[in-house]
Structure 1
Amino acid sequence: MYGNKKRVFISFDIDHDEGTKTMLANQAKLADSCHISIKVNTSDTTLNIYYGDIFEQKGYTAISVNEYFDSELGEPVSEHTLHGMVIKKYFGGHPESFDSAVQTDLQNYSYEEVERTRGNKKKYSIGTTAKVTANEHKFLLFALSYTDIQTLKASSDLSTMIIALHGLFKRSRESTGGEKLNIPLIGSGISGVGLPATQLLQLIILSIIDETKKKQICKVIDLVLHKSRFDEIDLETIKRQWV
């Protein structure tokens, strides 16, 4: 009887080892499916796409905002958007310090003065990009969406997004100084471009490649996807299409 127990124990041990190997293999496979790299032809630019926290990356981080570069949390800027998170986390939630950083950088940019009951009154063109820093964190804030001055609701669409990306990449060429550019899944937030996550990603990839072929943006661009998009975006499919 003791021998039988011993054999059962050994058998369990072997199964456990095999299970561990399988688990590690699955984890390795998962890791591979969570990160891909695309080498842009005719350039030395590498585009990395992976899941992670956009705010933990080194280099410049692109954040979409509305055309007023609003700074008041709640309305018109939700603290749950990346725009709101920047104000809350890196400017202490203080509109004044955020406004000061933006206005200092955009002092030579043209704008339209608009009377609003709430929010900033300087309206900039879509694609206008402000380079701002908060301690060691560096941001490129670019105007992606229009704001209804009555409801304060932000909105965008496909053609507007393309114009906004062009403005972002133009400023990136001038400002990053060879440092990495980090880009989230632009257009997936409350601005509501109206495309599924995979199509948004494809559009951003295409825009980066097209702009890079015209003139290099920077050597390394990271497209950082939030983990909540894992079930929506199959990076293996993206890899087969672009790599």
Structure 2
Amino acid sequence: MSQALLHDLKRRRFWRHIVGHALSAVGLIAVLAGLYDVFFPGLAKGVGTWLTLATILTALAYAFIRSWPRPIEQQYEAPSVKISLVRGDILDQATDHLVIGMPTTFDTETPHIIERKSLQGQFIERLYGGDLKRLDTDLDQALSTRVPVDAIAKPGKTKVYEVGTVAVLQQTTRCFFCVAYSEMDQKNVARSSIENIWRGLDQLWRAVTDHANGGTVAVPVVGLGLSRLSQILPAQDSIRFIILSFMFACRRERVCDELKIVVQPAQYDRLDRMEIQAFLMSLRAS
């Protein structure tokens, strides 16, 4: 049994579901047994013990089947889109469009400015083979129509673009959406805010609408890395934040076929995944 499954089974929500479904099953069986006794009186005489045992076992089996943790996903009809939550590494999603958070200066130099272990650092190493020159060329081309809004005196890049700017790096079969939602200071310390992330997500969905041509877009849990928002926006809240922003955008216009939120294993195992599934279900159109 996996650690993630054990974590789910320890949640109060799981056992509340068990109790609720079990009581529902007992109620239904009691009603059916009562109707049977009305139409065929006396036929059940002498089997009360067996009937009680069968009722308990049936109710428990039904409750566990209905409550057992399943893949976290939800298909919607209006808008027609799917949202899923998966455990893994976003850079391993080989066929999906990827979302990569960056600072408003679009710095790329590792390791002095961009930490190699960060998602952006791993993106540079694994998907660009550490070739900063090629990445900078692609970023410059993607930003060629954007006008910087400021400049900052610091090591590395000094042009500052508007919060929410998305540099779309076109690949052969997919896109990398590099969205700027953190800001560098003169010491190259990146920080962000709830407002910056919301604005970045809003601009991200607009860019996805224009460039993704449907398909699946994989996004990491935002705000947990160098943007330094983990105390304000923990993983559970960040996931709900992403989902809400995406659903608002989908009700404005079609964004993509599926949003895949990819959560690192250590974070995934600590999530209340049943709560997230309940949240996804609550967003279905009434």
The yes-or-no answer on 1:235 pairing with 2:273 is yes
Does the CA contact (< 8 Å) of 2:175 and 2:212 recur in 1?
no
Question: SS of 1:162's equivalent?
Answer: helix
Per mean C-alpha deviation after superposition, the further-off stretch among 32-41 and 224-233 is: 32-41
The yes-or-no answer on 1:61 pairing with 2:85 is no
Change (3 A) 1:33 1:66: farther
Identify the residue that residue 25 of structure 2 maps to in structure 1: none
Cα drift, residue 190 of structure 1: 1.4
Identify the residue that residue 178 of structure 1 maps to in structure 2: 214
Separation (CA, whole Å) in 2 of partners of 1:166 and 1:60: 17
Identify the residue that residue 8 of structure 1 maps to in structure 2: none
Does the CA contact (< 8 Å) of 2:101 and 2:120 recur in 1?
yes
Separation (CA, whole Å) in 1 of partners of 2:125 and 2:173: 16
Identify the residue that residue 14 of structure 1 maps to in structure 2: none
User: Which residues of 2 match residues 182-201 of structure 1 at below 5 A?
Assistant: 182-193=218-229, 194-201=232-239
Cα drift, residue 71 of structure 1: 1.0
Q: Could you list the runs of 4 or more consecutive aligned residues of structure 1 that deviate by over 4 angstroms after TM superposition?
A: 26-30, 133-137
User: Which residues of 2 match residues 132-143 of structure 1 at below 5 A?
Assistant: 132-133=169-170, 138-143=175-180
The amino acid across from 2:100 in the alignment is I
Name structure 2 gaps, 5 residues minimum: 9-67, 282-286
Change (3 A) 1:134 1:90: farther
Identify the residue that residue 36 of structure 1 maps to in structure 2: 72
The yes-or-no answer on 1:78 pairing with 2:115 is yes
Q: What are the Cα deviations for residues 88-143 of structure 1, in whole angstroms up to 9, with x where unaligned?
A: 22223232211100011111111135243411122111111111146666311000
Does the CA contact (< 8 Å) of 1:198 and 1:232 recur in 2?
no
Identify the residue that residue 156 of structure 1 maps to in structure 2: 192
Identify the residue that residue 222 of structure 1 maps to in structure 2: 260
Separation (CA, whole Å) in 2 of partners of 1:38 and 1:82: 26
Cα drift, residue 39 of structure 1: 2.6
The yes-or-no answer on 1:108 pairing with 2:145 is yes
Identify the residue that residue 125 of structure 2 maps to in structure 1: 88
Q: TM-score, normalised by structure 1?
A: 0.82
Separation (CA, whole Å) in 2 of partners of 1:202 and 1:88: 30
Does the CA contact (< 8 Å) of 1:72 and 1:95 recur in 2?
yes
Does the CA contact (< 8 Å) of 1:169 and 1:211 recur in 2?
yes
Does the CA contact (< 8 Å) of 1:35 and 1:235 recur in 2?
no
Separation (CA, whole Å) in 2 of partners of 1:141 and 1:34: 32
Change (3 A) 1:27 1:230: closer
Name structure 1 gaps, 5 residues minimum: 1-22
Equivalent pairs counted in the alignment come to 218
Q: What are the Cα deviations for residues 182-238 of structure 1, in whole angstroms up to 9, with x where unaligned?
A: 101011111012311111111111111111111121111111111010333111111
Change (3 A) 1:120 1:213: same
Larger radius of gyration: 2
Cα drift, residue 156 of structure 1: 0.5
Identify the residue that residue 61 of structure 2 maps to in structure 1: none
